[in-house]
Amino acid sequence: MIQLQHIERVFQVGDEEVHALSDVTMSAESGEYIAIMGPSGSGKSSLLNILGLLDRPDGGSYELDGLRVSGLNEKEQARIRRHKIGFVFQFFHLVPRLTAFDNIALPLKLSGMTREERQTRVTAALSAFGLGNRAQHRPDQLSGGQRQRVAIARATIMQPSLILADEPTGNLDRHAGVEVAEILEELNHQGITLIMVTHDPDLGRRAHRRILMVDGRIDHDSSRTRT
């Protein structure tokens, strides 16, 4: 499903070149559950941004579902993000002035779906994520765990094939964190590819495959050692 070949990402900091990613090659099958781990500054977020088409590599190629997406223009990449990729962030990134319902409906709205269709899909998502009685609450009226559940509902409402989660439990207490991890794993069970960045070893252990990043390189990939 995912094929990264010799990905390079270089940032210019002052007059020094910083290699956020150098020669990263990896692949992932559909339905995998991968944790990208490593110390801060190791390039794990950069890798996630490349995977999510939020950033462009300076070298190498990226194939998603057989399509060479690294060569697409901004519009086409936006389209792929819209339909294939769901994002879950550490700080939830909910729109503060919108209700839980409207936050979840946002991707549907942006893709031009009618109000009636949205209504049924969002209502179903709300109850599926245990938010049935929180539909009209704004983010500041929700707990951290509830906020992240709204964010996950939003990430999955377009039925993407890939979920990218950047420290999804990083801003939650232990209990809420486990709950969120279980929800993400349940989605993975249903066949969605789940890739998450974390430096929480407990969360990392739950993943089926762990990729350890050090200094912009893949230092260790559990799938390679196993096979």
Residues at the contact surface with other proteins, assessed by CB under 8 A = 49, 52, 54-55, 74-75, 78-83, 87, 89, 91, 93, 95-98, 106-107, 109-115, 154
Nearer to other proteins, 139 or 204 (CB): 139
Nearer to other proteins, 48 or 218 (CB): 48
The CB-of-67 to other proteins minimum distance in angstroms stands at 15
Nearer to other proteins, 55 or 58 (CB): 55
The CB-of-71 to other proteins minimum distance in angstroms stands at 17
Nearer to other proteins, 4 or 210 (CB): 4
From CA 120, how far away is CA 80, in angstroms rounded? 24
Nearer to other proteins, 17 or 74 (CB): 74
The CB-of-117 to other proteins minimum distance in angstroms stands at 10
Query: Are the C-beta atoms of 37 and 210 separated by less than 8 Å?
Result: yes
Contacts 24+ apart (CB under 8 A), 169-174: 169/198, 169/200, 169/203, 170/90, 170/198, 170/200, 171/90, 171/91, 171/92, 171/144, 172/144, 172/145, 172/148, 173/144, 173/145
Q: Is the dihedral of CA 145, 150, 152, 153 positive or negative?
A: positive
Beta strands 59-64 and 2-13: pairing type?
antiparallel
From CA 223, how far away is CA 28, in angstroms rounded? 10
The CB-of-92 to other proteins minimum distance in angstroms stands at 9
Nearer to other proteins, 184 or 210 (CB): 184
The CB-of-104 to other proteins minimum distance in angstroms stands at 11
* Phi, psi angles (nearest 5°) of residue 154: -65, -40
The CB-of-49 to other proteins minimum distance in angstroms stands at 5
The candidate with the shortest Cα–Cα distance to 26, out of 6, 44, 43, is 6
